């Protein structure tokens, strides 16, 4: 059974930093790209970042580029999101998600999020 368990959320002041973790189990972690998606209170879903299975390729939304860094430790089956220079508008529930592909060509353009964690709340406020 695939399980994704996020941790690391909490209250942080504007300009501060936080590192989120996502512990994965039930699948061969290194074989799959992973992603972070966030949801501000009462708002819709917003894609944040993604990373390839090897960790060699990373992708970011413009809203977080230069401030957030996605990484993974395949030996620990864990995904990370280092968040720096946090702003009030970064307040959201952050979900990690496993990426699956709809074709034999494992391209992100054919990818979708087949499993999601339960989310961890990040609140940026003074």
Partner 1 sequence: QSVLTQPPSASGTPGQRVTISCSGSSSNIGSNTVNWYQQLPGTAPKLLIYSNNQRPSGVPDRFSGSKSGTSASLAISGLQSEDEADYYCAAWDDSLNGRWVFGGGTKLTVL
Q: Which residues bind partner 1 (CB under 8 A)?
A: 35, 37, 44-47, 50, 59, 61-62, 95, 100, 102-103, 108-119
- Report, in Å, the least distance between residue 45 CB and partner 1: 5
> What is the DSSP pairing of strand 10-12 with strand 120-124?
parallel
By C-beta, is 44 or 56 nearer to partner 1?
44
Closest to 6 measured CA to CA, from 121, 117, 113, 123: 117
Distance separating alpha carbons of residues 73 and 62, to the nearest angstrom: 24
- Report, in Å, the least distance between residue 27 CB and partner 1: 15
- Report, in Å, the least distance between residue 110 CB and partner 1: 6
Q: Three-state DSSP class for 6?
A: strand
Structure tokens at 110: 């054919």
By C-beta, is 27 or 59 nearer to partner 1?
59
């Amino acid at each position: 059974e695939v399980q994704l368990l996020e941790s690391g959320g909490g209250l942080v002041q504007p300009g501060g930093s936080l590192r989120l973790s996502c512990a994965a189990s039930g699948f061969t972690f290194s074989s799959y790209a992973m992603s972070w998606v966030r949801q501000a209170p009462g708002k819709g879903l917003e894609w944040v970042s993604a990373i390839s299975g090897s960790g060699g390729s990373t992708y970011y939304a413009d809203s977080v580029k230069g401030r957030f860094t996605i990484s993974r430790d395949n030996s620990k089956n864990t995904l990370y999101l280092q968040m720096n220079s946090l702003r009030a508008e970064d307040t959201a529930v952050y979900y990690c998600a496993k990426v699956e592909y709809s074709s034999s060509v494992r391209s992100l353009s054919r990818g979708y999020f087949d499993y999601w964690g339960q989310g961890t709340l990040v609140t940026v406020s003074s």
